[in-house]
Every structure is written in structure tokens, then in C-alpha cells.
């Protein structure tokens, strides 16, 4: 079984990325052959800044490595280092109706926000389908927000197969129910577009400051509170042990706990969780050579698989197995 997932280098990864996708994906590397990529072509739909693109690409790579991605087993690479994926996106676009793309979440939310939408944003699900199908992926670990796009990839694969023969493996999304959608500082889905994110590698002081900004109701220290509807507790439960969770929940339900205290408890569990990996992250970022070597090797392995699948697709539609013209 093969696992595949990607993350856009449009900012430093946040806790939603970490819990919703990175950690579940890291657990898969023990039983599966895994291909994890940095979705720079996708990032380009919104990020038009050379320096930030390369900075965020390094940050995403360093995040995977600091959190335990083993590059000897798992291929970690930049999406654009396997340009075959854009050719496959074209082949898929030729079997994809406009109606389905108009219903895609990313496009609809860009439209609802009144953003100026480029053609690439509209085609996002087609490129994402190519990302998945070009590695014969079986499993795609993602947060719930991406479920629809993985289903669209499956539909495109089925449409292509029924027209041209069995070319693609049909992928399945893998979504952990307990971390399907991580709330941000204001309780809405944690997302760069809502500016409510908590970045994974914030220095201690900045992390504490961010957490102190989590939105709560206005109950005072001596009011009894409900942990189940509180944004602070909603995050705490992902980092605390069951005993810690029970203890803090009991304090919520009795007088004497202010939200500031709860935020301090959250800071402590988060800081304890990230401190060791933060050292590794800082070391990787300080010397880019290791990241470069990992990405280069990952791209080489990914490209071998991708060119085989692309050849299958080209042959199935009646194009040559490889472009005829020599590369100049
Ligand atoms: P993106 O930053 O859009 O490239 O997302 C990378 C991965 O993180 C995708 O699999 C998303 O489903 C996941 N993700 C992003 N935000 C959240 C969130 N708030 N809760 C759970 N998963 C998320």
C-alpha cells in the first residue's frame, strides 16, 4: 500500500496541519511506502514571492524532518521537482467537467470571499488528482477540509479508467475523526486564510502570547465553565494525557479557574511537546544542506514512479510513451 500527501509552502506549518495531517501521515510510514510532497505548484496559486516561497519550502521540509519523517523510508520532495505531474493534470482535465470543479470547496470559498480567482485556483482539484494518481497512491491522509478533493481525484480516476482502460489506482482519503478539524484562536477552523493559526515552531514567548489571545466567553474566575465548548480546552485535549485532561476539566467545572490559568496549562503541555523537536528544527534551518539533500533524493525516487505512471496514461490515450522530441 502506498500513502501520499502534500502541504502547501504558504506559511510556517500550524497546529491544524500538524494534528490533522502531518502526525497521522508520519504514523503511516511504518506500514506503507510513503511519498510526501511540498505543494509548491499549489502554493503558486496564491503566493507570488520568490523569497517567501523558498523560505516556506525549507520550513515545511524541516518540519517533517524534525517531527520524525525518515527520509530513508519516505520520499520527501518538492512537487515542482516532478514536473510530470502537470502533464498528467492536463490529461485529467480532458475528462473532467466544469460543473464538478465549480462545486469544489477551495474555489467556492475563494468566490465567497470575493477574491480575484485565477485559472490555476479553479483547476486546483485537477492538479491535486494528478498528485495523487501519479504515484498509484492507495491512501491519502488529510484533514476533513480536503476530503472532497480526494473524492474528486477518485472520480477523475474512475472516469479516465472507464474511457481508456485500467490506468489508475482508486485512492481513499484517510481522515482521523478525533482531529478532523482543528479549531483556531477564534474557534473557527484553524486556517491561514482566517489569520487564526498557531504556528508549530513559535519561540516560547511568542507561543505564550498567541495562546493568551485565544477567544473565550467572558466568565470570571469564580464562574463554573464548560470545557467542552471552550476553545482553550479544545486545543488542550490534543496535547494532554487523559489524566491531565480529566484534571483540567474538573477545574473548569468548579470555581477558581480563570481562562488565563487554562491558557497557561495549554502553553505548558504544548511547550513540553515541541521543545525537543524545536531544537532539531532550528538546526535543520540553520544549515540548509541536509534539507537540500533529502529533497533531491526524494524527487529522484518520486520521479521514477511518476514517469512510469505517466507513460501508462499517455499510452492509454494514444500519445507516444514519451515525448518524441529530444530534450535540447
Ligand atoms: P494546506 O495548508 O492547505 O496545504 O493543508 C495541509 C494539510 O493540513 C491538509 O491535509 C489539510 O487537510 C490539513 N489541515 C489544514 N488545516 C487544518 C485544520 N484546521 N484541521 C485539520 N486539518 C487541517
Q: Share the mean pLDDT of the chain.
A: 95
Q: Once rounded to an integer, what is the mean pLDDT over residues 130-152?
A: 94
Give residue 320's pLDDT band: very low, low, confident or very high (50, 70, 90). confident
Which of 21, 38, 79, 149 gets mutated to test ligand 1 (max ligand atoms within 8 A of its CB)? 21
Given a contact cutoff of 8 angstroms between Cβ atoms, the answer to whether 192 and 10 are in contact is: yes
Which residues, in sequence order, are bridge partners of residue 280? Answer: none
Torsion of the alpha carbons at 106, 69, 234 and 221, rounded to the nearest 10: -130
Residue of 148, 108, 109 lying closest to 129 (CA atoms): 148
Give residue 86's pLDDT band: very low, low, confident or very high (50, 70, 90). very high
Residue of 235, 197, 200, 198 lying closest to 216 (CA atoms): 235
| Residue range 146-199, pLDDT digits in tens | 899 999 999 999 999 999 999 999 999 999 887 778 999 999 999 988 999 999
Give residue 322's pLDDT band: very low, low, confident or very high (50, 70, 90). confident
Cα distance between residue 232 and residue 252, in whole Å:
11
Q: Please tell me the predicted confidence (pLDDT) of residue 328.
A: 65
Residue of 114, 111, 137 lying closest to 124 (CA atoms): 111
What the block records as the C-alpha cell of 96 is 473532467
Is the minimum distance from the CB of 66 to ligand 1 under 6 angstroms? no
Q: Please tell me the predicted confidence (pLDDT) of residue 325.
A: 78
Is the minimum distance from the CB of 189 to ligand 1 under 6 angstroms? yes
Which residues, in sequence order, are bridge partners of residue 7? Answer: 38
Torsion of the alpha carbons at 193, 196, 200 and 206, rounded to the nearest 10: 130
Which residues, in sequence order, are bridge partners of residue 172? Answer: 139
Sequence-separated (6 or more) residues with CB below 8 Å from residue 243: none
**Which domains are present in the chain?**
2-181+288-317 (3.40.50.620), 201-283 (1.10.240.10)
Ligand 1 atom at minimum distance from 11 CA: 2
Q: Please tell me the predicted confidence (pLDDT) of residue 100.
A: 94
> How many A from CA of 320 to the centre of ligand 1?
38
> How many A from CA of 267 to the centre of ligand 1?
22
305-310 contacts: CB < 8 A, separation 24 or more? 305/35, 305/134, 305/135, 305/136, 306/82, 306/84, 306/85, 306/88, 306/134, 306/135, 307/84, 309/88, 309/133, 309/134, 309/135, 309/136, 309/167, 309/168, 310/84, 310/87, 310/88, 310/134
> How many A from CA of 162 to the centre of ligand 1?
31
pTM above 0.85, yes or no: yes
Is the minimum distance from the CB of 43 to ligand 1 under 6 angstroms? no
Task: Determine which residue's CA is closest to atom 14 belonging to ligand 1.
Answer: 17
Task: Determine which residue's CA is closest to atom 11 belonging to ligand 1.
Answer: 143
Q: Once rounded to an integer, what is the mean pLDDT over residues 248-252?
A: 97
55 pLDDT more than 80: yes
Amino acid at each position: 500500500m502506498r500513502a501520499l500527501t502534500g502541504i502547501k509552502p504558504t506559511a510556517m506549518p500550524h497546529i491544524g496541519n500538524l494534528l490533522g495531517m502531518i502526525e497521522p501521515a508520519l504514523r503511516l510510514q511504518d506500514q506503507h511506502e510513503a511519498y510526501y510532497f511540498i505543494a509548491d505548484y499549489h502554493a503558486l496559486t496564491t503566493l507570488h514571492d520568490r523569497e517567501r516561497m523558498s523560505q516556506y519550502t525549507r520550513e515545511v521540509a524541516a518540519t517533517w524532518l524534525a517531527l520524525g519523517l525518515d527520509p530513508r523510508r519516505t520520499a520527501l520532495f518538492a512537487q515542482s521537482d516532478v514536473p510530470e505531474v502537470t502533464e498528467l493534470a492536463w490529461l485529467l482535465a480532458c475528462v473532467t467537467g466544469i460543473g464538478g470543479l465549480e462545486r469544489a470547496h477551495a474555489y467556492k470559498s475563494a468566490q465567497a470571499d470575493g477574491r480575484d480567482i485565477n485559472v490555476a485556483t479553479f483547476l486546483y482539484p485537477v492538479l491535486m488528482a494528478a498528485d495523487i494518481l501519479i504515484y498509484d497512491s492507495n491512501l491519502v491522509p488529510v484533514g476533513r477540509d480536503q476530503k472532497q478533493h480526494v473524492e474528486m481525484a477518485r472520480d477523475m480516476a474512475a472516469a479516465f479508467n472507464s474511457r481508456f482502460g485500467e490506468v489508475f489506482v482508486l485512492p481513499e482519503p484517510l481522515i482521523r475523526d478525533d482531529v478532523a478539524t482543528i479549531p483556531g484562536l477564534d474557534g473557527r477552523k484553524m486556517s491561514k486564510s482566517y489569520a487564526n493559526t498557531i504556528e508549530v515552531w513559535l519561540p516560547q514567548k511568542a507561543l505564550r502570547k498567541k495562546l493568551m489571545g485565544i477567544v473565550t466567553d467572558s466568565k470570571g474566575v469564580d464562574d463554573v465553565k464548560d470545557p467542552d465548548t471552550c476553545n482553550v480546552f479544545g486545543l488542550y485535549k490534543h496535547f494532554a494525557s487523559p489524566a491531565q485532561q480529566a484534571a483540567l476539566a474538573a477545574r473548569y467545572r468548579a470555581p477558581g479557574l480563570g481562562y488565563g490559568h487554562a491558557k497557561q496549562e495549554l502553553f505548558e503541555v504544548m511547550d513540553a511537546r515541541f521543545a525537543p523537536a524545536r531544537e532539531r528544527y532550528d538546526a535543520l534551518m540553520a544549515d540548509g544542506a541536509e534539507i537540500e539533500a533529502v529533497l533531491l533524493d526524494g524527487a529522484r525516487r518520486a520521479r521514477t514512479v511518476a514517469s512510469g505512471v505517466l507513460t501508462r496514461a499517455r499510452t492509454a490515450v494514444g500519445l507516444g510513451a514519451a515525448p518524441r522530441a529530444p530534450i535540447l
